[in-house]
Amino acid sequence: MLTIKKLCYDELPESEKKNVSNNGSGAEYAEYLLIYQDEKLIRIFSDAMEPEDAIFCRDLSWISDIIKLAYEIGRSEK
């Protein structure tokens, strides 16, 4: 079963806090998407920006990649 969680830095598992990028302004300011398959963490993504930095020139194409990945994983579980 596929599960996706949206977490802030403080909510990340301790084992993952040391693995996330500093993102220039600090990992604690980012939010994270964690993708689990059968309770195993398979991917972690960061928005790597503060809300005021979410402008049109930012490349947010990774979001659609996550949606496609989730769709493909879901299809393979049938």
Backbone angles phi, psi at 25, to 5 degrees: -100, 0
Residue 12 DSSP symbol? S
Per-residue pLDDT tens, the chain, 78 aa: give them. Answer: 778 899 998 999 888 888 887 766 678 878 888 888 888 888 888 877 666 666 777 777 877 887 788 788 778 876
> For the whole model, what pTM was predicted?
0.64
E strand segments, 1-78: 2-8, 31-37, 40-46
Distance CA 78, CA 70 (A): 13
Element of type H or E holding 68: helix 61-76
Cβ-Cβ contacts under 8 Å for 14 (sequence gap 6 or more): none
